[in-house]
Structure 1
């Protein structure tokens, strides 16, 4: 039994590292507009969406088209990931979920822009390789760089085609709302 426990721990350490690399490769593939590499990161039953519904794809073909349309309007970009939390499925060693904190510098329609995101992921290991089963992107902000200094003070801090939309978080999160109700009511 001790050997099984040790093997499981080693598998999880190796899996955690492989998932971290998956996330890094995703950012590089997005920055390079490398569609074959990007699409190779998703399972055959993959989904991709945003809490706001701005981006939604229910299968790899739709995911590919979604990224093609996004890359058509976007010039140079740089995505980087920060903290990453992985939780493994106790019943299935080939499944995990994760949260990734991330930033991006992008240029939609030639306008330098800054974004902060929180990805909620589902991972699946197929033939020994970890892939994205589902990615949900949540925007804290996505604004033109020139507006960054004042954008964080507003609820509408996601800019799409010149329109300002409410951010996906944190104001709608339960803990945020509970804190405000308890400590900002006065």
Structure 2
């Protein structure tokens, strides 16, 4: 096998492993299986959110953060719409990605629907690919019965009771689109 072919095959395998990693994350969240977090995050990982509510560094702190979230949530169901991955040309063990998805949740007894995006940095470890940095953002987070009303406004994040601005789309909020341009230009 040529070096070029071997390199291309490794990228295909890397993409498949990363796709499974982000799906595992959804299953861990829905099953509340915090013991599996080391299969998802690096020990020094960071978890943040576009609205600033999440800001946890280190696996133990991330587990505490998720436990607090689980305490406020009933049943959840997360599903992926796809992952876009860009590998770091300077370091074959680093990649960035954008994962889009939806979630159906019950928050404080209220059924809610969520349009979400994760901006990730992945790092290959001796145990495989893991998330080293994740920033969650929301297109909307609304009670299911208020979806139509909520979508007519820019304040589409109702996760915490009071209407807050949606994190995206960036074209409407003046956000940074460099991540999208870098993926489109590869």
TM-score, L = length of structure 1: 0.89
Deviation of 1:56 after TM superposition, in Å, equals 1.1
Q: Unpaired runs of 5+ in structure 2? A: 178-186
**Alignment match, 1:63:** 62
Deviation of 1:118 after TM superposition, in Å, equals 1.1
**Alignment match, 1:89:** 88
Deviation of 1:40 after TM superposition, in Å, equals 2.8
Alignment of 1:128-147 (within 5 A): 128-147=127-146
Q: Which runs of 4+ in 1 moved over 2 A?
A: 173-176
Deviation of 1:49 after TM superposition, in Å, equals 0.3
Deviation of 1:110 after TM superposition, in Å, equals 1.4
Q: Within 1, Cα distance between the matches of 2:162 and 2:176?
A: 28
CA RMSD between the two structures: 1.5
Q: Within 2, Cα distance between the matches of 1:145 and 1:38?
A: 29
TM-score, L = length of structure 2: 0.89
Q: Which range is displaced more, 130-139 or 160-169? A: 160-169
Deviation of 1:160 after TM superposition, in Å, equals 2.9
Structure number with bigger Rg: 1
Q: Within 2, Cα distance between the matches of 1:167 and 1:54?
A: 13
Q: Unpaired runs of 5+ in structure 1? A: 177-186
1:63-87 deviation digits (Å, cap 9, x = unpaired): 1111000001111110011121000
